[in-house]
Amino acid sequence: MKNWKLILVALVVLSSCKSENLKPPIYKTIDNPTGEIIYPDNTWTYTSPENFGFSLDQLKDVETEFKNIGGDALFVVKNGYVIISWGDVSKPIQNRSIRKSYLNSLFGIEYDKGEISLDMTLVNLDIDDVQKLTETEKKATVYSLLTSSSGVYHPAAYESKEDAEGRPLRGSFKTGEFFYYNNWDFNALGHIYTQVTDQDIFESFKRSIANKIGMEDFKIENTTYEFEKSKSNYPAYRMQTSARDDARFGYLYLLKGKWKDEQLISETWISKSFEKHVVTGKYYYYDYGFLWWIDTVNDMYIARGNSGQYIAIYPKENMVFVFRADPGRIFKKWLGSRVKPQESFPLINMILSSRK
Share of the chain above pLDDT 90, in %: 83
Kindly tell me if the per-residue pLDDT of 20 is higher than 90.
no
Residue 146 domain flag: yes
Please state, rounded to an integer, the average pLDDT across all residues of the chain. 91
Kindly tell me if the per-residue pLDDT of 198 is higher than 90.
yes
SS (H, E, C) 131-197: CCCCCCHHHCEHHHHHCCCCCCCCCCCCCCHHHHHHCCCCCCCCCCCCCCCCHHHHHHHHHHHHHHH
> Per residue in 138-163, is it b (16+ CB within 10 Å) or e — as a string?
bbbbbbbbbbbbbbbbbbbbbbeeee
Kindly tell me if the per-residue pLDDT of 7 is higher than 60.
no
CATH code of the domain in which 100 resides: 3.40.710.10
> Per residue in 89-122, is it b (16+ CB within 10 Å) or e — as a string?
bbbbbbbbbbbbbbbbbbbbbbbbeeebeeebbb
Residue 285 domain flag: yes
- Position 31 confidence tier, pLDDT thresholds 50, 70, 90: confident
How many domains does the structure of the chain reveal? 1
Residue 25 domain flag: no
Residue 134 domain flag: yes
Kindly tell me if the per-residue pLDDT of 23 is higher than 70.
no
Q: Tell me the mean pLDDT in the region 81-109.
A: 97
- Position 160 confidence tier, pLDDT thresholds 50, 70, 90: confident
Angle between helices 183-197 and 98-113 (to 10 degrees): 40
How many Cα neighbours within 13 Å face the side chain of 261? 0
Kindly tell me if the per-residue pLDDT of 17 is higher than 60.
no
Q: What is the pLDDT of residue 33?
A: 84
Q: Residue 93: beta bridge partners?
A: 241
Q: Identify the burial level of 324 via C-beta atoms within 10 angstroms of its C-beta, where 0-12 means exposed, 13-18 middle and 19 or more buried.
A: buried
Residue 178 domain flag: yes
Q: What is the pLDDT of residue 18?
A: 36
Could you read off the pLDDT of 34-73 as tens digits, one per residue?
778 999 999 999 999 999 999 999 999 999 999 999 999 9
Could you read off the pLDDT of 224-244 as tens digits, one per residue?
999 999 999 999 999 999 999
- Position 32 confidence tier, pLDDT thresholds 50, 70, 90: confident
Kindly tell me if the per-residue pLDDT of 333 is higher than 70.
no
* Overall residue count recorded for the chain in this entry: 356
Kindly tell me if the per-residue pLDDT of 319 is higher than 90.
yes
- Range(s) of the domain holding residue 316: 93-322
Residue 79 domain flag: no
Residue 226 domain flag: yes
Residue 287 domain flag: yes
